[in-house]
């Protein structure tokens, strides 16, 4: 009796997978290099600071910042400690629930994000969007939404922060 083997990728699927894999590997490195060069920030540092800057009060619980960045809470806690030493954020007890700690963007942190954002956005635009027309942009959004939906539906044991980051909005 013949056993069923894996369903291998077709040649077209393999080309698409390799291209997507290259994006998943190279894009974060390119963004990291740009941010380090232009702003002396890691990609995670920038994303955390930018997330805080988007809040009306420039404040967020560390646990929510972990979800936003897709990082484990312990990693975010260490990151915020380093950013606090640089004067970019403050840690404060959450006034609504003292069991939580908030990260608060300082004026110096706000200035860092404000100065870093234009070059970062230009890099994102150049690497992702300049080569797309309106139909390509819609296709990219559609494909990304489908991939995120599949990731959200997987039974793989993804970390809780990742699970929460990909839940439907």
DSSP string, 3-39: PP---PPPHHHHHHHHHHHHHHHHHHHHHHHHHHHHH
Mean pLDDT of 62-86: 95
- Rounded distance, CA 74 to CA 160, Å? 13
Model confidence pLDDT, tens digit, residues 125-158: 999 999 999 999 999 999 999 998 998 888 999 8
- Rounded distance, CA 118 to CA 104, Å? 22
Sign of CA dihedral 96, 84, 81, 158: positive
* Rounded percentage of the chain residues whose pLDDT exceeds 90: 82
With cut-offs at 50, 70 and 90, classify the pLDDT of residue 168.
Answer: low
With cut-offs at 50, 70 and 90, classify the pLDDT of residue 7.
Answer: very high
Structure tokens at 93: 């007890």
* Domains located in the chain, CATH noted: 22-131 (1.10.10.10)
Mean pLDDT of 43-70: 95
pLDDT at 159: 85
Question: Which DSSP string do the residues of 68-99 spell out, in sequence order?
Answer: HHT--HHHHHHHHHHHHHTTSEEEEE-TT-TT
Q: What is the pTM of this model?
A: 0.87
Residue 163: how many other CB atoms lie within 10 Å: 16
- Is 38's pLDDT higher than 60? yes
Long-range contacts from 3-9, C-beta under 8 angstroms, 24+ separation: none
- Is 164's pLDDT higher than 60? yes
pLDDT at 25: 95
Question: Considering just the CA atoms, what is the radius of gyration of the chain in Å?
Answer: 19
């Amino acid at each position: 009796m013949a056993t069923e083997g894996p369903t291998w990728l077709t040649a077209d699927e393999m080309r698409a997978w390799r291209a997507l894999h290259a994006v998943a590997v190279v894009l974060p490195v390119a963004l990291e290099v740009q941010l380090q060069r232009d702003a002396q920030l890691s990609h995670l540092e920038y994303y955390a600071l930018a997330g805080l800057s988007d809040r009306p009060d420039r404040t967020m619980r560390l646990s929510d910042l972990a979800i936003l960045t897709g990082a484990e809470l312990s990693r975010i806690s260490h990151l915020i400690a380093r950013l606090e030493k640089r004067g970019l954020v403050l840690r404060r007890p959450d006034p609504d629930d003292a069991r939580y700690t908030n990260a608060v963007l300082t004026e110096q942190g706000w200035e860092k994000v404000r100065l870093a954002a234009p070059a970062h956005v230009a890099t994102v635009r150049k690497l992702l969007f300049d080569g797309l027309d309106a139909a390509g942009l819609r296709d990219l959004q559609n494909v990304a939404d489908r991939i995120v939906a599949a990731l959200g539906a997987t039974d793989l044991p993804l970390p809780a922060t990742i699970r929460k980051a990909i839940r439907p909005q």
